[in-house]
Structure formats: structure tokens, C-alpha cells
């Protein structure tokens, strides 16, 4: 399995370069200028410019803000260009990304070049680590489920709080601020399944 960890200020290479391309492409597809996206997502114009040039190693919190502003899931920012509709994603080809702030490691499991409304991400969350996302509603609607494979995670979703142990699974809609915290002394490993839907009944939310 490939792992790319780039120090802040590193040149455009590896996964930072992929993120840069994805943000540029998604912003262009949305018809947003740098200033408009900055205003929309709460990330400075200068930071977005650095990210789009691959000259910054942004944190997961910053990337989540960008994803919210662009109306996509965080996992979408790590996708490879759709060069071929290959339905198989080999473990050896799945890149890992480490959040420079919390140290958590995420791996996009789903095939990057295959068009699908579903994305699967595996996360290794360090002991005592915490990440808080200023998530808000997106259009189209994005559903997410968190399935704990090993360990424990405390997840706050708006005013709701959930403690998940091994085998537990939580379903949610990405429309409120949320945070993840590992209260234990060992790594927690969990899977995030994300589905993008044009609309859904209110009872699902």
C-alpha cells in the first residue's frame, strides 16, 4: 500500500498534486472564482490558491471546508482523475493521506476512475486525537455511515453525541457540524461509506 506524507511547504507532488487538480477542476465546474469560493467556504483566497498550486499541505478541517463549499464529500478531493473506468481498486495502489494536525490516516478504498455515487474510506484514528468539521448541508444530499472495525470513537453530530465501539455503525447526513474523538489509548480503525443522492425523504435525515 502506498503512503504519501508531505511536510508543510512541500512542492507539488504526489497526493497534494492530486488534491490541487481536484480542487481546480471542481471549482471550474462550479463556475466559482477564487474569491467566490473563499467567501462561500470560509477559507482564505491565498490558502485556496496555495492548495490549487500544490504548495500547501492542508489539514482535514480545511479540506472539509473546501468540500462543503464545492458541494462534494471530503473523499472526493482525493479521487484520481477518471482516466479509465476500472472497477477494481488494488490495495497496493490505494494512496494514504495523513492529516498534519491530528495525525489520522485515511485511505480511499473505492476505484477512483469508476463512476459511482458510493465512496468507501478507511480511517486509522490515533489515541486521544480529535478532529472537528464545520460541516453544513450540501446539494446534492450526501449520506454517510461510520462502521467501527476496531476500537472506539466518540462522534458528535450537531447536538447529538454517539459513542461507537467495535462493530457499531452510525448513519447520518452531512448537514451539521461534527467531530471525531478517540478517547482510548490505542488506534481506532473504522470505515466511512459515503453516498451522494439528489434528494431523500425527510425521514431519512
Give me the mean pLDDT over the 179-191 stretch: 98
Give me the mean pLDDT over the 182-191 stretch: 98
CA distance 1 to 37: 34
Domain boundaries, the chain: 3-78, 91-204
User: Is residue 153 within a helix (H) or strand (E), and if so which, with residue range?
Assistant: strand 153-157
C-alpha angle 55/60/61, rounded to 5°? 105
Question: How far out from the chain centre does Cα 53 lie?
Answer: 19
Residue among 20, 60, 65, 76 at smallest CA distance from 42: 65
CATH homologous superfamily for the domain 3-78 = lambda repressor-like DNA-binding domains (1.10.260.40)
pLDDT of 81 strictly over 90: no
Contact yes or no for 131/61 (Cβ under 8 A):
yes
Taking the complete model, does pTM exceed 0.75, yes or no? Answer: yes
The correct CATH number of 91-204 out of 2.60.120.10, 3.30.530.20, 3.30.300.30, 3.30.43.10 is 2.60.120.10
Give me the mean pLDDT over the 1-27 stretch: 66
25 pLDDT tier (thresholds 50, 70, 90): very high
Amino acid at each position: 500500500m502506498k503512503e504519501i506524507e508531505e511536510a508543510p511547504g512541500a512542492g507539488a507532488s504526489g497526493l497534494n498534486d492530486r488534491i490541487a487538480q481536484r480542487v481546480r477542476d471542481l471549482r471550474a465546474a462550479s463556475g466559482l472564482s477564487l474569491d467566490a469560493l473563499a467567501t462561500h467556504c470560509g477559507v482564505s483566497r491565498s490558502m485556496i490558491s496555495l492548495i490549487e498550486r500544490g504548495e500547501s499541505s492542508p489539514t482535514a478541517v480545511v479540506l472539509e471546508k473546501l468540500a462543503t463549499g464545492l458541494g462534494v464529500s471530503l473523499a472526493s478531493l482525493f479521487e484520481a482523475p477518471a482516466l479509465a473506468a476500472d472497477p477494481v481498486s488494488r490495495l497496493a495502489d490505494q494512496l494514504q493521506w495523513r492529516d498534519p494536525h491530528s495525525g489520522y490516516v485515511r485511505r480511499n478504498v473505492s476505484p477512483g476512475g469508476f463512476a459511482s455515487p458510493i465512496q468507501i474510506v478507511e480511517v486509522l484514528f490515533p489515541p486521544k486525537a480529535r478532529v472537528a468539521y464545520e460541516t453544513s448541508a450540501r446539494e446534492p444530499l450526501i449520506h454517510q455511515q461510520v462502521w467501527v472495525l476496531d476500537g472506539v470513537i466518540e462522534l458528535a453530530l450537531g447536538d447529538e453525541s454517539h459513542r461507537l465501539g467495535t462493530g457499531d455503525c452510525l448513519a447520518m447526513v452531512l448537514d451539521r457540524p461534527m467531530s471525531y474523538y478517540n478517547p482510548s489509548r490505542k488506534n481506532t480503525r473504522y470505515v466511512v461509506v459515503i453516498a451522494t443522492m439528489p434528494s431523500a425523504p425527510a425521514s431519512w435525515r
